[in-house]
Amino acid sequence: MQYDQHTYRLTDTGNYGTVALIVGVVGLIGSAVGYITDPAQFFHSYLTAFFFWLSLGLGGLFFVMLHHLVGAKWSVVLRRLSENIMMTIPVMAMLFIPLLFGIKELFHWSHPELVATDHLLQSKEPYLNVTFFILRAVVYFVIWMLLAFLLNRYSLKQDQAHDNKLVRTLRVISAPGMILFALSITFAGFDWLMSLDAHWYSTIFGVYVFSGNLLGMLAFLTFSILSLQSKNVLTGVITPEHHHDLGKLLFAFTVFWAYMAFSQYFLIWYGNIPEETVWFLERWESSWKIISLLLVFGHFAVPFFVLFPAGAKRHRGVLMVISIWLLIMHWVDLHWLVMPSLHPHGIHFSWMDPVTMIGLGGVFVWLFRRRTAAKPLVPVNDPGLGDSIRFINH
Amino acid sequence: MNKQIMREAEGMLAEFAGPGNLLEAAREMRKAGYTHFDCHSPFPIHGMDAAMGLKRSPLGWIVGLAALFGTSAALGLQWWTGSIDYPLVISGKPLFSFQAYVPVTFALGVLLSAVAALVGMLALNGLPRLHHPVFHSERFGKFSDDAFFISVTADDPLFDAEKTREFLQHIGGKNVEVLRES
Amino acid sequence: MSTEAPHIPTSPGAPPLVTGNQTFASVTENICRITERKTPPVWYLALGAAMSLLLVLFGSIGYLFWEGTGIWGLNNPVGWGWAIINFVWWVGIGHAGTLISAILFLLRQRWRTSINRFAEAMTLFAISCALIFPGIHVGRIWVAYWMFPIPNQMQMWPNFRSPLLWDVFAVSTYFAASLLFWFTGLIPDLATFRDRATSKIKKYIFGFLALGWRGGNRQWRHYELAYLILAGISTPLVLSVHSVVSTDFAISIIPGWHTTIFPPYFVAGAIFSGFAMVVTLTIIARKLFHLEDFITVNHLERMNKIILLTGSMVGYAYGMEFFIAWYSGNIYEQAVFLNRAFGQYAWAYWIMISCNVIVPQLFWFRKLRTSIPVMFIASLLINVGMWFERFVIVVTSLAQDFLPANWDYYRPTIWDISTFVGSFGLFFTLFLLFIRFLPMISITEVKAVLPQADPHQGGSHE
């Protein structure tokens, strides 16, 4: 891999992207085989994998908007890479289409004969019906793509011209964007994950989903920065000071995720109302308990204690390992949210879980690589770039 | 003034023009081999630790231990009172309901850490200490306003009334004075 | 590969954090002057008014001890009235101080230096006011020590599975940690006061309180880490306190109380109301003490942005509660929320919505969020709205419980009102004493953000 430190561009990117695409396509073909052999398993695995990769893009979208809104200086050097993660959303929107054929397999509220015998589902019918479900999904993707396109467009425009007004433009997009984002990710979480168990409900669920998404995205961002830097790309631009801040963010959002997860669990545990506890009971009474405990320790305790010392947040090796670990845990979290709906009696791993992950992941990585290769790796004309590079953490 | 009753010198104080000069002077002091010197300023100066060659404060470890003690003591208290000393089933919860014990465990962990942070900081700084050679100087009071000082105490192996004075002046010190009880 | 230095754009310098070409000495002078000059008559007048209210508080509490909680407007279904509303409201207000002193510190928001001391003091006084209410509402005040795990003649222990007990620990820890944090921040400023003191009494008092601070870097290095650690532990603490307060409601199974979003929703609301209070007090103080150079419109604008953000979070939580109440299919939940919006307490609900959700939307416009009169009125309205939020939560869910035969309408009595109004007396008395005798702006921290404090002049670290 070749990198021109004058223009911040990759001049020779190697063939990682192509390899990723080939792997992705093979994975998707494998998934298609899964669809033929066991459609129910396929759709659940695909939903998990799809939400995983989409969530990174959504996390990227949030991170970029947050950056613009607060006018942060230190994170300017991370902005373009975050935008590259964000710009996978449009293709993810297309990869959502297969799920539309799985509504019947995934959501029991979509079966009229079940709804006819279920008083609760009848009362939810104005919201939980196939037409409105699809309509909402379209709205979510329109919002996300619109925001992503606009943010991307003005960001690239900024690369061309020394125009400080664009800083303001980007902020003006981000402010209402944040509200639209908060609402859309909440309801997407309700629709695609919470309504898998259509009886169950939790007001914090949207925030819980969001916290996991953002943590996953930060882990992916850290991972990609460190792997770029291991090839001598962006060294001296993204410094240990930025690593330190990424470490702090990973730490902070680990705690944030735990706070949301604990709030949800704790209040339902204490209230002990059958209609609510059933959801946790399903994930506690059978072998799913192992995954539940894995989340407590792996998604919270391990990263918490590993990232606690200041030294660890600046240590590339530690950051690399913990970001991969957090990505795995993010998948485990989603698996734990989705799979008990299909396999209520205990843990069930299918070969389709990794294959759908690889299929969608290959496409994701290809998209990310392609954009990383095509554009400067940092917003070259952002007025905060100099401050960001010289930034010292204290 | 009668030399007989003049007290022994306890140290020396020199004033510097600004934070940048103080930082530079601190580097010089360290290079010259002084160990018992300090740089007084109205606010912490960024980069001074490195200039003086000071290691990171060990306070984090003290607080960490306090947090560990606070959380385990809290958990122990709740376990012992609720499961051993007076077991009582309340609202159908298990005797040892770790979920319900989280808030108090957390609160006591934080409480002890906060106390340890302040007390530990004072202990590491040898405070409260109302008497110190630098307070002999009339001018020293200005450190908390807009003045920057370097003090060297007499127990520094390199301390020498004449040489130290010359050195302090050489590195830009103004109003160099000997610290002694008046 | 190119070897020449890459092109790096630079930012057009950010506006200064404090104005008026301040020097280190002028910062000391301007802030110390407030406490050193002759006591202005206005201060005596204000203190007199505050202490009169404080007497009202003492009187109300005295009568309460004599007569019992029957003097309050509590009735059969509404067993929790103004006492818990006021408690939650005051604790919530405290949260802004900790957010400013701890979270904004960790986020490297250097503008906080002008307001953090002031806001932290507000936190301490607000928690003091809050602590009155759980203290006095227990009925048998003489056994209030049962709240603590102290061995007693019954050989019983407090119930550690009760959120009311978590409150005791969370709020008293919050008070203690805030006090330690505040004092830590004060030490160097107390040294300034010591070194400027002219009278012997002041020299002794501040000399004692400053603990012999010498401002040496060997001290600063421990001090700075202590400050960072205190900020680090105060951050989860502040989130936990209002989360714990929210569990007073949320662990129950009462419709309208039992909902999983309560912890973060309460925290957002607390910060929201706290910032409104900081804005209210700041506007008055900067005018009164001519601190416009230190607390600029820029500072106020930033606080208004936080109000807009947290106000939107609160609005989000209201929306989620309503949506999930419908979505749950639980008719009791649905009834409670319909009742809130259209029932006998609809007036309170719509005050809450207008003040907490609609008013902050004004701050989308730069013109409005930089206008002092607009933000002053908005901040007052938000505090009213946040009080009514707690009123709506506490009263509407209780007044119409599961048994329609129990339903009743809750009305406060004069003693409810006098206790609440009296708590302002405590708050303002403490506040007035604070601004008269202690530095209301952190002298040390403001100096540290002046451009000339950077030893490598010109280089920016932000």
Residue B109: pLDDT band (50, 70, 90) is very high
In whole angstroms, what is the distance from residue B164 CA to residue B154 CA?
Answer: 10
Query: Domain containing C366: what range?
Result: 24-461
Subunit partners of chain C (3 or more CB pairs within 8 A): A, B
Which positions in chain C touch A394 (Cβ < 8 Å)?
A: 461
Residue C273 lies in a domain: yes
**Helix, strand, coil content of chain B in percent (nearest 5):** 55, 10, 35
Nearest to C432 by CA among C32, C122, C46: C46
| Cα-Cα end-to-end distance for chain A | 33
DSSP state of B93: -
Residue C7 lies in a domain: no
Mean pLDDT across C96-106: 83
Q: Please list, in sequence order, all residues whose beta carbon lies within 8 angstroms of the beta carbon of residue C60, skipping any fewer than 6 positions away.
A: C415, C418, C419, C422
Q: Tell me phi and psi for residue C91, to 5 degrees.
A: -60, -45
CB neighbours of residue A299 within 10 Å: 24
In whole angstroms, what is the distance from residue C328 CA to residue C333 CA?
Answer: 8
Task: Convert the pLDDT of each residue in C266-317 to its tens digit.
Answer: 999 999 999 999 999 889 888 888 888 888 888 888 889 989 999 999 999 9
Query: Domain containing A34: what range?
Result: 2-389
Q: How many Cα atoms occupy the beta-carbon half-sphere of B181 within 13 Å?
A: 5
Q: Do B102 and A262 touch (CB under 8 A)?
A: yes
User: Please, which residues 222-281 of chain A have a Cβ atom closer than 8 Å to chain C?
Assistant: 255, 259-260, 263-264, 266-268, 270-273, 275
What pLDDT was estimated at residue C460? Answer: 37
C222–B contact, CB cutoff 8 A: yes
Mean pLDDT across B3-18: 75
In whole angstroms, what is the distance from residue B81 CA to residue C347 CA?
Answer: 46
For tokens 């081999």, the residue is B33
What pLDDT was estimated at residue C459? Answer: 40
Q: Tell me phi and psi for residue B151, to 5 degrees.
A: -115, 145
Please name the residue of chain C whose CA is at the shortest distance from the CA of residue A265: C260
Please name the residue of chain A whose CA is at the shortest distance from the CA of residue B91: A270
Q: Do C169 and B85 touch (CB under 8 A)?
A: no
Q: How many domains does chain A have?
A: 1
Residue C18 lies in a domain: no
In whole angstroms, what is the distance from residue B129 CA to residue C218 CA?
Answer: 14
Residue C325 lies in a domain: yes
Residue A394 lies in a domain: no
Helix (H) / strand (E) containing B150: strand B148-153
Q: In this structure, are residues A12 and A2 in contact, taking their beta carbons and an 8 Å threshold?
A: yes
Nearest to C212 by CA among B114, B126, B115, B155: B126
Tokens matching residue A209: 């989903």
Subunit partners of chain B (3 or more CB pairs within 8 A): A, C
Q: Please list, in sequence order, all residues whose beta carbon lies within 8 angstroms of the beta carbon of residue C400, skipping any fewer than 6 positions away.
A: C77, C335, C336, C339, C343, C407
**Which of A239-248, B97-106, B129-138 shows the lowest mean pLDDT across its residues?**
B129-138
In whole angstroms, what is the distance from residue A38 CA to residue C204 CA?
Answer: 83
CATH of the domain at C191: 1.20.1630.10
Residue C16 lies in a domain: no
Mean pLDDT across A51-57: 94
Mean pLDDT across C412-436: 92
What pLDDT was estimated at residue A1? Answer: 65
Q: In this structure, are residues A253 and A211 in contact, taking their beta carbons and an 8 Å threshold?
A: yes
One-letter amino acid identity for A29? I
Mean pLDDT across C152-167: 86
Tokens matching residue B71: 């959380």
CB neighbours of residue B114 within 10 Å: 29
Task: Convert the pLDDT of each residue in A297-354 to its tens digit.
Answer: 999 999 999 998 888 888 889 999 999 999 999 999 999 999 999 998 889 899 989 9
Nearest-Cα distance to chain B for C151, in Å, is 10
Q: What pTM did the predictor assign? A: 0.91
Mean pLDDT across A51-65: 94
The count of CB pairs under 8 A between chains A and C is 116
Residue B1: pLDDT band (50, 70, 90) is very low
Q: How many residues does chain A have?
A: 394
Assess whether pLDDT exceeds 60 at residue A105. yes
Task: Convert the pLDDT of each residue in C333-365 to its tens digit.
Answer: 899 999 999 989 999 999 999 999 999 999 998
Task: Convert the pLDDT of each residue in A135-176 to its tens digit.
Answer: 999 999 999 999 999 999 888 888 887 777 888 888 889 989
What value does the mean pLDDT of chain C take?
86
Residue C156 lies in a domain: yes
Q: Do B19 and C194 touch (CB under 8 A)?
A: no
Which positions in chain A touch C251 (Cβ < 8 Å)?
A: 266-267, 270-271
Task: Specify the higher pLDDT residue, B130 or A120.
Answer: A120
Q: How many domains does chain C have?
A: 1
A146–C contact, CB cutoff 8 A: no
What pLDDT was estimated at residue C15? Answer: 65
Q: In this structure, are residues C375 and C382 in contact, taking their beta carbons and an 8 Å threshold?
A: no
Tokens matching residue A334: 């989603």
Q: In this structure, are residues C316 and C340 in contact, taking their beta carbons and an 8 Å threshold?
A: no
**Which of A2-11, B85-94, B118-127, B150-159 shows the lowest mean pLDDT across its residues?**
A2-11
Beta bridge partners of residue A147, listed in sequence order: none
Mean pLDDT across A272-297: 92
In whole angstroms, what is the distance from residue C347 CA to residue C70 CA?
Answer: 26
Task: Specify the higher pLDDT residue, A53 or C15.
Answer: A53
Beta bridge partners of residue B178, listed in sequence order: B12
Task: Convert the pLDDT of each residue in A189-248 to its tens digit.
Answer: 999 999 999 999 999 999 999 999 999 999 999 999 998 888 877 777 888 888 888 999
Q: Do A264 and C243 touch (CB under 8 A)?
A: no
Nearest to B66 by CA among B121, B127, B103, B128: B121
Nearest to A164 by CA among C14, B107, C321: C14
* Interface confidence (ipTM) of the complex: 0.90
Residue C17 lies in a domain: no
Residue C1: pLDDT band (50, 70, 90) is very low
Q: In this structure, are residues C423 and C90 in contact, taking their beta carbons and an 8 Å threshold?
A: yes
Q: Tell me phi and psi for residue C128, to 5 degrees.
A: -60, -45
